[in-house]
A and B are shown apart, each in its own frame.
Chain A
Amino acid sequence: MAVFHGLSALAIAIFLAGALSRARFWLSDDRSPGDGGRRPTKRLAQQASVAIRFLLRPQTLQTLFWNGLVMRQVWRESRLRWLIHLTISWSFVGLFAVGSLGNYAADFGAPLEKDDAWFAAFNDAAALALLAGLGLALGRRYLTPAAHTRTIFDDAIVLVLLALLGLSGLLVEAGRILEEGTTASAGGYAFLGYPLSQALEPLDWNWEVAAGWVWWTHAVASLSFVAYLPYSKLRHMFTSPITIALASDKEAPSPENERSANQETEPWPA
């Protein structure tokens, strides 16, 4: 585990260096006389209380809910793109918040077992959504791209990394089930992981060794993802909520102007 913790520290350091370079970029053109001598980090800190007050405004929260969490604007433009975004982003958040942090919590003594019904089912459902979203994304971007779709190399790296994370995660689960000899009654809630373990069982590998390799593949993919995040388009996980929140600064139009303005956009389904 010392190697893993060392690699984790390295990945986080690379992430932080990237995050700092982004923050420097955001402030790189802000050179008004009063700010010239202050460090970007200090200036950012000074904005924190203001930003929190702005964030907690009802109007900001409403905008964040509709355009950030529910992604209404994306839904208006393309149902397919909305579905892709929703499945990938929410399953990713779920896998990180429940799956990864849950495992950490279990390591530190939280009353949580990997074969607990809800935990296993949740992780597999999220993995299924992630892989389905990735499949749709690959099809949309590479098989039937829309006229305005622009694909760069970064898109491929991101999709491959996410797919590697999802698939290796399932293999980790299947390997663990085989290694621990989990029974169907105990492991059946892992509705993807358990059948996968049964499919792999005839290979007659040494699962104590193989599970370790699969685990390391997943771990390295996860740490690569963390390290790569601020240098890739994945950083929009952080920048988009901020720009969406800032966009709520517009003065609310009168109801009649709102109606006349938005007659072309389809309303959110009731």
Chain B
Amino acid sequence: MAGLIPERWTERDVTGRGPFSPRQMLELDACTRCGECLRACDSFRVKGDESVALMGMIHRRRRLHNQEESFVGRLLHPNGASERDWDEFEAGVFSCTLCGRCEQFCPVGIKTRTLALTMRQELAGARCKMPKNLGIAREAVLEEGNVFQFPNEDRAMWAEFMDELPDGLLGKEKAEVLYFVGCVSSFSPAVQEVPQAFLSVLLKANVDVALLAGEEWCCGFPLIVGGLAADAQKMIDHNTERLRSLGAKTVVFNCPSCYYTWSNYYPLEDVRLLHSSQFIRELVEAGRITFDDCDLPVTYHDPCDLGRGMGEYAAPRDVLKSFAGDNYVELSPSGSRALCCGGGGDVEMWDPDLVGAINGELTDAVERSGAKLVVQACPQCKRVTQRSLEERKSEIRTLDITEFALEFGKFRDESS
């Protein structure tokens, strides 16, 4: 687009009377109810309720518009749409995991993820309609700096359990590279091996890296996907200021949601942002990590925010294929149509059962693939999938790409 179509035709926040751009209103009008998005929607598959899929959301939103704005609608509904109608709309919109899979199926090119996000902005930002737990999470982020409501000074506690943590790393004032860890990796015990592994990889590769530790605040992603983008500005300003003060020219992430948020919402044109899979691929290409041939069947699951969100599909595959060769198997579906793990869109905050049920489809696909190891590139995906596999008593292992590199990679400095 690059300035050709004016900003207000494409994206906007809740600065005007309504959050929808003309393009999005056109998209609301352009939906023909063909039902292709229903085929793509995991929430719909589980709930069987159209209103959780984009087609249903659009249908309800158009009806609300007709009730509130059209001439006939105002005659029939002088007080506007009922609270019940808005509540039903809210329930559907907040059951969407914002995985964006339906965008790959829509024959008329509707930007479904952005549209669903704007619906959340309208509900949460402009009408204060949101799940109760989103409100709690908002308070936690704004007051503590993390979505888990833990004291933020404990954010780097995972690092203190590492054997090889260099002295002074946590208090480092200047560094070339900032490792932005993210809330899930920092605080969720189920995936604390992920940041430990990535930091180990960075250190083994002799990267001049620093952590913000207690000064790292939530990137803002949970607020943005909750429809509370305006509240995320405080986080963005703080993290940007900490980055500037550190002087780092590169920021690396193991969380694709943080990577997505920094890439799309942080004003950083002179800073290089890299996901862990991209960083590890660079190490592989430079010959700084090598893998022995192996006969372990390996597969990879594309996280929504890394694949459909950021368009990065190749980096993790390149790494895995350099290890597994012909033993690398693709999940079906994968790539731009990869299944959602269920853990996106903040849905876990208010409907954990839905998350588990959605993940069942992904776990089925993993089992069908014949792989003995499923590699993921997102702590939230790993957390949800690992739990699902454990419940099934499956012998398939889940590893984050950082854990994979640490476990199977040989680092040049070590071997020479």
Interface residues of B (CB under 8 A from A): 1, 4-6, 8-10, 12, 15-30, 32-33, 35-36, 38-39, 50, 55, 65, 69, 105-111, 307, 311-314, 317-318, 330, 332-337
Flag whether A50 is at the interface (Cβ < 8 A): yes
Taking a contact as CB atoms under 8 Å apart, the answer to whether A263 and B26 are in contact is: no
What residues of A have a CB within 8 angstroms of the CB of B6 in the complex? 47, 50
Given contacts A26-B22, A256-B318, 4 further A-B contacts (CB under 8 A): A29-B22, A31-B17, A47-B9, A148-B35
Min Cβ gap B358→A in Å is 17
Given contacts A233-B32, A236-B32, A249-B5, contact A260 B26 (CB under 8 A): no
Taking the closest CB of chain B, its distance from the CB of A195, in whole angstroms, is: 36
**Closest 9 pairs between A and B when the two form their complex, measured CB to CB:** A247-B109, A29-B18, A31-B17, A260-B313, A239-B30, A148-B35, A29-B20, A256-B314, A249-B1
Contact present for B109 and A244 (CB under 8 Å): yes
Contact partner of B107 (CB less than 8 A), chosen from A47, A51, A77, A254, is A77
A–B pairs, 28, beta carbons within 8 Å: A26-B25, A26-B26, A29-B20, A30-B8, A32-B15, A32-B16, A57-B4, A67-B109, A74-B107, A77-B105, A148-B35, A152-B33, A233-B32, A235-B29, A239-B29, A240-B30, A240-B107, A240-B108, A243-B110, A246-B23, A247-B109, A251-B311, A260-B314, A260-B317, A260-B335, A263-B335, A264-B334, A264-B335
Which of A26, A31, A244 touches B108 (beta carbons < 8 Å)?
A244
Check A5 for interface membership: any CB of B closer than 8 A: no
Chain A interface residue count, CB cutoff 8 Å, equals 51
A contacts, CB < 8 Å to B: 22, 25-33, 35, 47, 50-51, 53-54, 57, 63, 67, 71, 73-74, 77, 146, 148-150, 152, 233, 235-236, 239-240, 242-244, 246-247, 249, 251, 253-254, 256-257, 259-265
Interface of A is mostly: helix
> Taking CB as reference atom, which chain B residue is nearest A236?
B32
Report the minimal beta-carbon distance from B159 to chain A, rounded to whole angstroms. Answer: 32
Q: Indicate which residue in B33, B38, B336 contacts A262 across the interface (CB closer than 8 Å).
A: B336
Expressed in whole angstroms, the Cα–Cα distance for A149 and B108 within the complex equals 16
What chain A residues lie within 8 Å of B38 (beta carbons)?
A: 148, 150
Specify which chain B residues have a CB less than 8 angstroms from the CB of A25 in the assembled complex: 25, 28-29, 65
* A249 cross-chain contacts in B, Cβ below 8 A: 1, 5, 10
Given known A-B contacts A149-B35, A239-B26, A259 and B110 have beta carbons under 8 A apart: no
In the complex, the chain B residue whose C-beta lies closest to that of A155 is B33
Q: How far is the CA of A235 from the CA of B62 in the complex (A)?
A: 15
